[in-house]
Structure 1
Amino acid sequence: MFDLARDGGTERLTAFVDAGLPVNLTNAKGDTLLILAAYHQQADTVAALLGRGAETERVNDMGQTALAAAVFRQNETIVRALLAAGADPEGGRQTPVSVAEYFQLPAMTQLLRAGGDAG
């Protein structure tokens, strides 16, 4: 299942979720399907998981949320989708805002501060 999230196997993954697989399934490192899809820049998978109730504030063992992963990868589409779903720019130990600031990503910082409305 985790490979489907990483690789963008949206149709297969959502079929499993629709059949009863927990949408917030977590691997041994604390990564949810949503975190993996966000980190691997799978926008369609992120949208499908959000549509099925994936929790945006789940934190992996590194203290990162899906939003922090999307910010790190500088994926504006996924950042906007997560913000629209209620993701907290200050959530997790490694907050999305702190990730943007640490890696000097001003466009991401602006987007987070605007709540996804910048641009």
Structure 2
Amino acid sequence: MNHLFDLARRGGAAELAGNVTAGTPVDLATEKGDTLLILAAYHNHTRTVTTLLGLGADPDRINAQGRTALAAAVFRQNQEAVEALLEAGADPRRGQPSAVETAEFFALPEMTALLSGGNALSEGDAADGGVPGRLSPPT
């Protein structure tokens, strides 16, 4: 199993797709709840993110630290991955910190605009006022 998580970290989209097609659960997760999708998003592998989404990965899974693949993609400022996750139905307010809170905390106006551009956020939405914790990397 560690090999599969390493593939997600390294961006092994084709090999992961082959494994999923052969029966590996697309939402396979580490003991800390980091799915293949979360790992791919955090390690900035857009092709792997889109491949896993195409295979049915859940864009809203939350790891043990309360984080989602969308929050990881926002933290990495990966516009293509954020767009793919939003198109797949990822909720920008899910998780703690959420993708929206991550963008606000790290002062990422481009990510905030991207999250609000696709009707993901309604006008007048604001952060709940809490300061999110530091985004620690998935392992």
Residue aligning to 1:64: 67
Deviation at 1:114, TM superposition (A): 1.1
- Equivalent-residue separation in structure 2 for 1:79 and 1:53 (angstroms): 16
RMSD (CA atoms):
1.3
Q: Does 1:55 align with 2:52?
A: no
Residue aligning to 1:2: 5
Deviation at 1:115, TM superposition (A): 2.2
Cα distance, 1:53–1:78 mapped onto 2, change above 3 Å? same
Report the AA paired with residue 96 of structure 1.
A
Residue aligning to 2:125: none
Name the larger-Rg structure: 2
5+ unaligned residues in a row in structure 2: which ranges? 121-139
Tell me, yes or no, if the aligned pair for 1:80 and 1:116 is still in contact at 8 Å: no
Greater fraction helix: 1
Secondary structure at the residue paired with 1:79?
A: helix
- Equivalent-residue separation in structure 1 for 2:44 and 2:119 (angstroms): 17
5+ unaligned residues in a row in structure 1: which ranges? none
Residue aligning to 1:11: 14
Residue aligning to 2:127: none
What TM-score do the two structures reach when normalised by structure 2? 0.81
4+ residue runs of structure 1 moved beyond 3 angstroms? none
Residue aligning to 1:92: 95
Deviation at 1:39, TM superposition (A): 0.6
Deviation at 1:61, TM superposition (A): 1.1
